[in-house]
Amino acid sequence: MNLQLAGKSALVTGSTAGIGFAIARTLAREGAAVVVTGRTQDRVNVAVKTIQQEIGDAKVSGIAADLATARGNAKCIEALPAVDILVNNLGVYEPKPFEKITDDDWHAIIETNFMSGVRLCRHYLPGMKAANWGRIIFISSESAVNIPVEMIHYGVTKTMQVALARGLAETTSGTGVTVNSILAGPTRSEGVEQFIADVARTKGIAPAEIEKDFFRTVRPGSSRISRVRGEPSFICYQRRGSARRRRPASVDRLGTHDTAFHEREFHGYQDHLRLFLRYLLVKTSPMIQQQDFVQPEQFPFKDDGVFPNSPLPLLLYRRAITTDAEDPASIFEERFAENDWTNSWRDGIYSFPHYHSTSHEVLGIYSGTATLRLGGEHGKNVEVNPGDVIVIPAGVAHQNIGASDNFGVVGAYPGGRHWDLLRGLPGERPKADHNIAALPMPENDPIYGAEGPLRRIWKDAGASSK
């Protein structure tokens, strides 16, 4: 991967081991200047040295500070006044019956799991907003939703993290700063290994039996504790959502808050890191502002008696997306998915005239060139090139009338709608006309989101056609 993190700085709390260390190591491998943190200098030194040994050109340093305290946070901030990426990973847990959780227990776990993030965000967020770029990530837990009865205070702090992230995200709307939460499932970290070993020793049974009993009685919704299996080899694709169980979200867009939620799907730190990179670091270039939008060419096509076409203009964004990447198609897929244009595919464009009545469609040209005929036999021929994006309203005929051998397209649909394939044959209408009339306006421009030009252009066109 090349996430273009050179020149970016990242602070990962609680990063001398476990998920935090894996994230710090991955960020260093991607070229970021990473700062790891831990409570003791010895642990910090070991983590820094390990990353340096694994990654020869790593830019990594460390801060020894107890971030569960206001003094420790002040020490960290003094050593690192500004940062581009803040990963709030620090967290502790302690199984204890609710009736035995004291006020001191509540205070200690809230200070560590919650207030550490509050204090760091309070300091670093204003600088991110001033720079118009920043990423804040809370490594929360599925316990934020499935509160564990054996440690209710832990689950409460994880819910608090999600609420904080959501509120902060609202304050960043329209900026290049994003705030997200990842709700990880059970993970075999250093602390969990020790916990399992201690319980097994106390009960006089094998650690494997403790793990089986845990998922049978405590976490029946999960299948196993995740294992460490190395770094991510790719960025996984997920649909956009909003903290919906079993349906992970995508990269945060324009300050809105998305929450990744995985239980059964996790296979170790590898999957945590895939989610982390997918959700938070794919969009590493400065957030696109309205003045930076590529304004689309507009092509209105009227009903010609064969093809219904549409009062909504077809939109052609020239060179809207950069394609100089190892897998350029994935750039289109990710951008479209961020804006809830999903159910995507990679292929070409049919050589016969056709249209869809059950969905609008976006096509992203990731390689090669082609001449497309739009609007039917008496429509318009248009040349398309890599980086071009075409938004085709339902009903508008389109076909490929000549293309290079390497012509490649990513297609997607608003809200992941299913699409039909119609050719302007007798009997298709009026059902097709009814389908088209019933379609909702897409919530987002497939490239630029809710602030993009699509909704404005189509609303104006729809109003003028009435």
Structure-block tokens of residue 63: 């801060």
425 forms beta bridges with none
The Cα–Cα gap between 466 and 464 comes to: 6
154 is catalytic: yes
Instruction: Write the DSSP string, 293-313.
Output: --PPEEEEE---SS---EEEE
Element (H, E) at 35: strand 33-38
Catalytic hit among 154, 317, 355, 366: 154
> 36 — phi, psi (to 5°)?
-95, 155
Query: Residue 137: left (phi > 0), alpha (psi -120 to 50), or beta?
Result: beta
**Which of 405, 414, 406, 408 is CA-nearest to residue 387?**
408
* Residue 171 near residue 255 (C-beta atoms within 8 A): yes
* Residue 314 near residue 392 (C-beta atoms within 8 A): yes
Query: Residue 190: left (phi > 0), alpha (psi -120 to 50), or beta?
Result: alpha
- Please confirm whether the linkage preceding 353 is cis (ω < 30° from 0): no
The Cα–Cα gap between 57 and 187 comes to: 29
Could you say which DSSP state residue 69 is in?
S
Half-sphere exposure in the Cβ direction for 16 (13 Å, CA): 16
Q: Is 326 helix (H, G, I), strand (E, B) or coil?
A: coil
Total number of residues shown for the chain: 466
The Cα–Cα gap between 36 and 51 comes to: 10
Q: Which residues are catalytic?
A: 154
